[in-house]
Amino acid sequence: MPSLQTGYAPNLSVFLKSLKAAPLESSIENLISLLKRRQIQNSRPCAIATAHLLLRVVAKFKWTDIGKLLERIQEVGRRLTAAQPREMVVGNIVRRVLGMIRDEAKEDRAEDGSDSASNVGSPSRKESYSGSPRIDGAPPTFSPLRFESSSETGVAETNGDDVFGGKSTAVSRPPMLTSHQSYAVVNGVPVQQSMFNLLSATPSPNATPPGTNSPHGKTSFNASSLAHRIAITTKDLKAEVISGIEEIIDELDQVDDQIAAYAQEHIHSNEVILTHSSSLSVQKFLLKAAEKRKFTVIVAESYPNDHEATHATVVGKTNPSGETGEDMNTDSFLKPLSAAGITVILITDAAIFAIMSRVNKVILATHAVIANGGLIAAAGARIIAKAARVHRTPVIVVSGVYKLSPEYPFEFESLIEYGDPGCIVGYDDGPLVDKLEVDNPVYDYVPPDLVDLYITNLGAHAPSYLYRIVADHYKTEDINFHKPELQF
């Protein structure tokens, strides 16, 4: 009898495997569908999927103009953000890629400019003599005051006396030097040979050939060589852009370890730490501190959306549902918190205010951080932060830089996502369901005045300093890329 096949549920790992073989447009539509159906959710999986998709877009897109590539990235980014506007990291990754492309193009233009400037002959000395050589120490008859441009002929005026008192003679403006002429052959005046004269006497391969028009006129280009140069420049720039996106992907893989490196500076022995939900960033942060510290962790269960994953994390069992929290299952940890020597206490959400007087620090994870320093975190974070403010307990938020968004929504209610109300009231209880309207928020908005410190992979920062990090990572012209009507 053949074995029964289990159901197929696409997730992040399945999507990344399909990128290698599926057509590009099919991969874009696939990710849009996964975002809409919430089969890829939470910050880290969405950021990783977006970065890998943009890497493939850059690799497959044929372009000769950097503007075309920017338009293509913006078009894909608009479709992804429209599919799931509350996953703000999708827009963050698109902005990071757009800014990186602009920086690479700017550096490439600067290099081309420096190369062309070095190939242009710039005479270091000006002619200070007239058509006839000086005789018997007489002052020169050439004066720049008399070289005024005439209307058509370009011949200098010869009327009047010289500024030195002598009669002026009819002279013409000395001819302009080109990059393939030497000072030794101008007007028949012998000039002492030097290394500069010897080098300038040899025509430069990049100089304007004799007989061709000046740069101000019509210049004849070699179409094949120009196309070859454009192809080489595009190939080099594409390689740099791909390398930059790969660095963003590496940052996403290493961000939690970089944040955990600051754990021992902020967690001390015999402290009582309060946290909630099953965030991978918080778990690694605590495990790193446990290497040299002995402390107690109180975990709020985060009912009803994340309590099962929280229980699995505390007891150290594998969560069979796969991706939870920040793409977290307990197989990702080297060992559970209790095995690391940490005393772990699991409490209900209703006991948070009662236990807060015994807590030394509150450590929270975040779903996204917005421009004003506020954060979007799992439901229950606002209650914890308010209780900590009443008891003067410091609140520390651990977050990767990729979660920092330059957006500032004026209606914070639009940032809150609501989950299945059946988690609170079962649909089988018909009479109660008919009489109630049940809201189950998945996230809370925590204002910046309830947060004392942010710890990112770049270090610890106050909420008021986050605007500086945002300015360093995003270009102003890319902030509203998904809203063309707001771009300037």
- Strand, coil or helix: 396: strand
pLDDT of 189 higher than 70? no
Residues 274, 384 contacting (CB under 8 angstroms)? yes
Residue 154: Cβ within 10 Å count: 9
State what percent of residues in the chain have pLDDT above 70: 65
Residue 232, pLDDT score: 59
Residues 90, 35 contacting (CB under 8 angstroms)? yes
Please write the tens of the pLDDT for every residue from 24-79: 999 999 999 999 998 998 899 999 999 999 999 999 988 888 889 999 999 999 99
Separation CA 27–CA 17 (nearest Å): 11
Residue 324, pLDDT score: 42
pLDDT of 361 higher than 80? yes
- Strand, coil or helix: 445: strand
Residue 140: is the preceding peptide bond cis (ω within 30°)? no
Which residue type is seen at 309?
A: A
Residue 206, pLDDT score: 53
State what percent of residues in the chain have pLDDT above 90: 42
Q: How many helices (H) and strands (E) does the chain have?
A: 14, 10
Quickly list H helices, 84-222. 88-119, 195-201
Residue 383, pLDDT score: 93
Residue 116, pLDDT score: 56
pLDDT of 308 higher than 50? yes
Residues 92, 255 contacting (CB under 8 angstroms)? no
Residue scoring higher pLDDT (419 or 255):
255
H-run or E-run covering 67: helix 66-83
Residue scoring higher pLDDT (207 or 276):
276
Separation CA 18–CA 245 (nearest Å): 19
Residues 342, 435 contacting (CB under 8 angstroms)? no
Please write the tens of the pLDDT for every residue from 429-479: 767 777 788 888 889 999 999 999 999 999 999 998 998 999 999 998 988
pLDDT of 104 higher than 90? no
Separation CA 456–CA 437 (nearest Å): 39
Cα dihedral: 56, 60, 61, 62 (round 10): 150
In what order do the strands lie in the sheet containing 343-347? 343-347, 296-300, 272-276, 361-364, 395-398, 453-456, 459-461
Q: Lowest mean pLDDT: which of 158-172, 294-308, 415-429, 469-483? A: 158-172
Q: Lowest mean pLDDT: which of 38-42, 101-105, 228-232? A: 228-232
Mean pLDDT over residues 214-226, rounded? 53
Burial class (CB in 10 A: 0-12, 13-18, 19+), 221: exposed
Q: What would you measure as the largest C-alpha separation in the chain, in angstroms?
A: 120
pLDDT of 409 higher than 90? no
Residue 191: Cβ within 10 Å count: 12
Residue 91, pLDDT score: 95
Residues 6+ apart with CB under 8 A from 49: 12, 15, 16, 31, 34, 40
The chain-wide mean pLDDT, for the chain, equals 76
DSSP notation for 220-232: ---HHHHHHHHHH
Residue 207, pLDDT score: 52
pLDDT of 266 higher than 80? yes
* Residue whose C-alpha is closest to residue 116's, from 229, 218, 210: 229
Residue 485, pLDDT score: 64
Mean pLDDT over residues 317-321, rounded? 46
- DSSP lists the bridge partners of residue 199 as none
Residue 119, pLDDT score: 54
pLDDT of 101 higher than 80? yes
Query: DSSP label at 300?
Result: E
Residue 314, pLDDT score: 64
Tokens of 220: 């004849």
pLDDT of 213 higher than 90? no
Q: Could you identify the residue written with the tokens 């874009």? A: 28
| Backbone torsion region of residue 383, taken as left when φ is above 0, otherwise alpha when ψ lies between -120 and 50, otherwise beta | alpha
pLDDT of 144 higher than 50? no
Residue scoring higher pLDDT (277 or 129):
277
Query: DSSP label at 314?
Result: H
Please write the tens of the pLDDT for every residue from 115-139: 555 555 444 444 444 444 444 444 4
Residue 105, pLDDT score: 84
Mean pLDDT over residues 407-417, rounded? 81
Mean pLDDT over residues 305-321, rounded? 60
pLDDT of 417 higher than 90? no
Residue 427, pLDDT score: 74
- DSSP lists the bridge partners of residue 369 as 375, 404
Separation CA 140–CA 174 (nearest Å): 14
